[in-house]
Amino acid sequence: MRRVVMLVDNAVEGDSRVQKAARSAADVGWDVTLIGCAHVDAERRWRLGDAEVRVLPLAAARATAPATAPAVVSGPSGGVPGPEGADVSASGRGAGSRDGSGLRGVSGLRGVSGLRARLVARGGLPLRAARLARRPVEHAQVRYWRARLRDGAWRRLEPGLWDYERVAGPVVDELRPDLIHAHDFRMLGVAARAVERARAAGRDTKLVWDAHEWLPGARPRRDNARWLPAHLGYVREYVGHADAVVTVSDTLADLLVRDHALPERPTVILNAPVTAAPEPSAIEPPAPESAASEPPASESAAFEPADLAAPDLRKRCGLPPDTPLLVYSGAMAVQRGVDTVVEALPLLPGVHLALVVADPAAAYVRQVVARAARHQLADRVHVLPYVPHRQLVAFLTAADIGLIPLHHWPNHEIALITKFFEYAHARLPIVVSDVRTMAETVRATGQGEVFRARDAADLARAVRTVLADPARYRAAYQGEDSPLPGWTWEAQAEHLDALYRRLLTPTR
């Protein structure tokens, strides 16, 4: 049995694509270990079907960090073999720098007036003003280290990336995989270095990079000017080590070919839902009630069977069958447009909204609920925690409309996102903003209505249109022209299995 190690930079539970990939690969005979890296107190282990899951604590990187960063594989861009002798402290920050950049010549708050610098350092400026004061310094850091190290500048601009190497690298080496599947961008370098070590030891390990999003179009995860150029350089340095690339849409596949001059087009693996019933013996971690919740210490009691009947969405909202119910399922952030839905509710008398989110107590979720309360809508907005991803489609079927109210943002334009397929398999009419790919698909299939992004009145118009004749939109999921058979994870998993087999089949 050939061994596959999957790597991801999160705690696994909330990442359905990663869970589906690991489990489906194990189901067809691969020996799969899925390694997550996250801010957890201790290592966690469980099984997804026949796949083993291990979530490693990133705090271990701080406890075991060497005086200098580990050796690095030189990438196609000519990356340097390490951070040029700079000490990397246990926190992942470069020595001689207050902000973690490792920059000595242009470090700290240099370039800001003396009084202003002292105010920032003492917390005397509001947070927003402090960030603005920091920007010229951050841009100078980017220019300086890009000039010196080119794509290798991430070693100074984002040295915390080493934490993933320190935590996951030794575990991958111990497992001696035949193939490493790196999910998203942070784990690409970890996988590339592990492959180089394996090949130096005489093992022909293969590397698959799974590009979940278009990084140049991503919203930076932190509010600093170093984040995006550092990660772009990191990906450029290591992408050439991948034996194959997979991604989530045709449009993104074309962008990756263009950006990285890939020798072959990435394999497209859609974020489609699982439709087959799981084996009765399978166990999975339950959906956490909040981001801060942790599995119980006893893992035998921590996870519920994945084939339990899905809960009833309407019952959880306390609603009768004839009450119009809109549902939004997934991560919540300003750019995802839920504020627009709340602004539209006063124009939709009697219509209720269910928000199915990872953490009902998160700050932004509370802001949305407070906005609803200001509109006297608190009794019509229901916040519910995630259910296991294999139950989600059945959970959603009780709604009348699935909402995708995204703002215009590069990554929102280029793919059919996970919730799009989940709503479709729940046979829900979809009301989506005019982000390109999903709007084009909805118009072509007739499965919903499109509204102008951030326009509450137009969203309300689209909802009223669907509620007036929902059967018209549900009909798109029936008959020979239904897109649903191709929009299943089972169909996508066949492409992934074929790719693995091609890479690991000896050739002359």
Chain-centroid distance, C-alpha 410: 15
DSSP states of 460-477:
HHHHHHHHH-HHHHHGGG
Residue 78 is predicted with a pLDDT of 39
Name, of 67-71, 224-228, 411-415, 476-480, the range with top average pLDDT: 476-480
Domain positions in the chain are 1-88+159-307+488-508, 89-158, 313-482
- Count other Cβ atoms within 10 Å, centred on residue 39: 9
CA geometry: angle at 256 spanning 28 and 239, to 5°?
75
Residue 99 is predicted with a pLDDT of 43
Residue 81 is predicted with a pLDDT of 42
pLDDT at residue 112 greater than cutoff 60: no
Residue-wise pLDDT tens digits, 376-404: 999 999 999 999 878 999 999 999 999 99
Separation between Cα atoms, residue 19 and residue 164, nearest integer Å: 19
pLDDT at residue 245 greater than cutoff 70: yes
Give domain 1-88+159-307+488-508's CATH superfamily: Glycogen Phosphorylase B; (3.40.50.2000)
Least confident range of 12-16, 155-159, 465-469: 12-16
Residue 279 is predicted with a pLDDT of 52
For the chain, what is the mean pLDDT? 84
Residue-wise pLDDT tens digits, 24-51: 999 999 999 999 999 999 999 999 999 9
Stretch 77-91: mean pLDDT:
37
Residue 156 is predicted with a pLDDT of 93
* Rg (the chain; Cα; Å): 24
pLDDT band at 222 (very low <50, low <70, confident <90, very high): low
Percent of the chain past pLDDT 70, that is, above it, reads 79
Separation between Cα atoms, residue 354 and residue 382, nearest integer Å: 5
Stretch 421-429: mean pLDDT:
97
Stretch 85-113: mean pLDDT:
39
Q: Are the beta carbons of 22 and 34 closer than 8 angstroms?
A: yes
Q: Residues in the chain, how many?
A: 508
pLDDT at residue 77 greater than cutoff 90: no
**CATH topology (fold) of 313-482:** Rossmann fold (3.40.50)
Please tell me if the domain spanning 1-88+159-307+488-508 has the same topology as the one spanning 313-482.
yes
pLDDT band at 114 (very low <50, low <70, confident <90, very high): low
Residue 219 is predicted with a pLDDT of 75
Residue 307 is predicted with a pLDDT of 52
Interstrand relation of 3-8 and 179-183 (parallel, antiparallel or unpaired): parallel
- Count other Cβ atoms within 10 Å, centred on residue 361: 13
- 98 or 216: which leads in pLDDT: 216
pLDDT at residue 285 greater than cutoff 60: no
Residue 97 is predicted with a pLDDT of 40
Q: Distance of CA 111 to CAs 101, 108, 134, 224, 331, Å?
A: 15, 9, 9, 16, 38
pLDDT at residue 176 greater than cutoff 70: yes
Name, of 105-114, 271-280, 452-461, the range with top average pLDDT: 452-461
Residue-wise pLDDT tens digits, 318-360: 999 999 999 999 999 999 999 999 999 999 999 999 999 999 9
Residue 128 is predicted with a pLDDT of 60
- 422 or 111: which leads in pLDDT: 422
Least confident range of 136-140, 347-351, 433-437: 136-140
Residue 398 is predicted with a pLDDT of 97
Q: What is the pTM of this model?
A: 0.79
Separation between Cα atoms, residue 485 and residue 85, nearest integer Å: 55
Separation between Cα atoms, residue 416 and residue 401, nearest integer Å: 17
Residue 127 is predicted with a pLDDT of 57
pLDDT at residue 238 greater than cutoff 80: yes
pLDDT at residue 278 greater than cutoff 50: yes
pLDDT at residue 503 greater than cutoff 70: yes
Residue 288 is predicted with a pLDDT of 39
pLDDT at residue 476 greater than cutoff 70: yes
Stretch 129-143: mean pLDDT:
78
Q: What proportions of the chain, in percent to the nearest 5, are helix, strand and coil?
A: 45, 15, 40
pLDDT band at 291 (very low <50, low <70, confident <90, very high): very low
